[in-house]
Structure 1
C-alpha cells in the first residue's frame, strides 16, 4: 500500500447493507445441492457481469469465476466463496426460509457468496487496486469427496486464472459477530469417510445359535473403535473417529444378514492419518473374524488438511486488525476438526482461510443444524474485509 492510499472501511460498505441482506436472503430461499447450483451460478454470473467483470461459467460443472483488472501490475489474487447447500429440512419460520423442502443453507454459504459479491460491487466501482482480481465461486464444498474445490484445481483453475495467493472466509457460530479469526499452519482437519459392511448369516431371533449375528459383530466393532484414539494416537495429537450411521435389520424377530456402519475420521498429521486407517481396518476385520463374520471396508480419503501459509495468514490478520481493531481479531484460533475443500486450493497456491464469528447466541444452532441461519450483521464486515484485503494485496501505485 502506498503511503497515502486509502483503503475500504466498514463505513464505505454500509450503503450496501440493505441490498446485501436482500440478496443473502434470496440465496437462502433457493438452496441447491452439490453440482446442482444452476440458479445460484446464474444469479452470480448476472451480477458480476452487471458490475463489469469478465465472467467464466461452467468451471468444474457449475463454478463461476469473475475477473476484474485495474492498473498494469502482473500480480493477482483469488478470493473464493462456496455455493452449495445441504440436504437438510429447515425448521426455521422466518420469511426467508428455504422454499426447497429437504434442502437448506445450513452452513452459511449464502452469506459467503453475498459477502464476496458485496466486495465485487465495491471494488468494481472504486478500482482502487493495481493488478488482477479473480472471484472464485465454487460448487460442491459439502460433498466430502470429489468436491468442487478438488475438481476446480484439477481442471486447471490456477492455470486459467493465475493467482499469487488465494483466500477464503467461513462463518463460525459461537464466536462474537464480526470477529475475524485464523492461524498459520494446520488449521482444519483432513476428513475421511469409511463405509463398513459386516456380513453374517441371517436367521430367527429365537434361534441365534443357527445364525451368525452381524449386529453383535457391529457392536463389537463400534466399541473397539473407541480405543483407537485413546490408545493408539499420541496424547499430543488430535484425531476423531465418529460412527455416524448404523443400519441393520427391519424386524425384531429377525437376525439380519448384514449391518452397515458409516464413519467420519478426522486428523491433522499424515502419519496419524495413516495410523487411523491401518487400525480401523485391522479392528474391523479381526473383530468380525473373531465372531465368524466377514467385513468389507470402503475407505474413502476425503479433504486434506487446511494448511494456511504463514506469510499470507499474517497478512490476512493484519488487514483484519486494520478493519475491525486488534481486539476483534484472533490470530491463534484453536485447531478445528471440521474439514474444508479449500484445502485443495491451498495445496496449489499460498493463502489463508479466515473464520468470521456468526454470534455467541448461535451456540445451540451450529453449522449443519436445521435451525441455523447466517447472521446478516456480518455482510458489511465481510464485504469490507474482502475489499480492503484486495486493496492491500494489490496496492495502487506501489508494492505490498
Structure 2
C-alpha cells in the first residue's frame, strides 16, 4: 500500500472580488478583483509542483448560483492544466453553487469528478492502492439534513476520505448548511474528512479539517489564506500542512500612540506596523488600523480621517508590495477631556469594560433586545457588537468635545 498526497481546498468563491473605495488606483482595483483567480492559479501550480495524486474541492467553487461564464471558462482552463499532468479533481458543490439551479452548461475535462446531490462513492487508484472518496453536492441553497450520517464506507479500499460542505453544530445559524457534530464524523471512521463552508482555517481533530478560503474577500476575512496539503500513509495519522495561495493579505494592525503627540510620528509608527506584515509571496496588503492609547490627537484625526487615509493610501500605492487601508478606527482616549467630565469618563470606562468582557456584553445586549424600538436595529446576526461599541465611544467623545473648554 502506497501513501497518497492530495490538496484539500474549499470556498474559492470564484467571481467574488474584494471591494475597494471609489477613486482607488486602477491597478490596485484590477489586482483585488482578480485576486481569487490568481490564488486558484497558484493552487494548480502547486498541485503540479508537489506532484499530488488528486485535488479535492469541498464546495462553493463559485460565488454566485449562475456561476458566471468567465469563472467557468477559467476553471476549465485550470482543470485542463491538471489533466495534462494526470491529476484528478473531486468536487462537491455547496450552498453558493448548488446543482439544481440554472447556469450556463459546461463540459468539464475527463479528470473532473463531480459528486451528485445524493451521497456517492468515487474510486481513485494509484498502482495497487485504492482510495474511496465519499461526497454529496447541495441540490439547493439550503440543506437541512445531516448529510454526514448518510455517508457509508464501502469495502475494498486502503483509504477512505469524506468530502463535506457543512457546518458543525445544530444551532439556528447552522441548520441550513448540512449541520453535523464532530461525533457524527468520527463514527464514520474515515481516514480524513475534507470539509468546506467555514472560511476560517480550523481543525476538529487530526483527521477532520477546514482549510478556510483561498483568498480573503473583505476586512473580516483576515490572515493567511490557502489550502491544506495532506499525505495519508497506512497506520499513521494524516500529515497536514497549510500552504498559502493568496496574493493579497487582509489583516489588522493595532498602533499604540501614548508616546506620539504629532501626526507625523503616528504616521511613521503606523507605516512601520504595516511593513511588518509584508511577505515575499504577496503582492499587496489590505489593512484595517486601530489606534489605541491616550493622547491629544483624537479630535484632529477624527475630523480629518478621510484625508489622512487618502494620504496614507497614496503612500501605499508607491510601495513594491502595495498596501491599501480599508479604514482607521480611532480608539485614542482623550484623557484630559474625560478627566474634566466624570460623567463621560464613567461612560467610557463602562464601555471599555463591556468591550473587554464579551460574555457580559452579550447579556447586556440581550437586555437591549427586549426594548421594542431597539430590537429591529440590534437583532441582525451580521452586527459586530465590538464595532458598535467602538463607534458608540467615538460618538460620545465627539458629542462632549467642547464640554471642558
Q: What TM-score comes out, normalization by structure 2 length?
A: 0.23
Bigger Rg, structure 1 or 2:
2
Structure with bigger helix share is: 1
Structure with more relative contact order (C-alpha pairs < 8 Å, separation 6 or more): 1
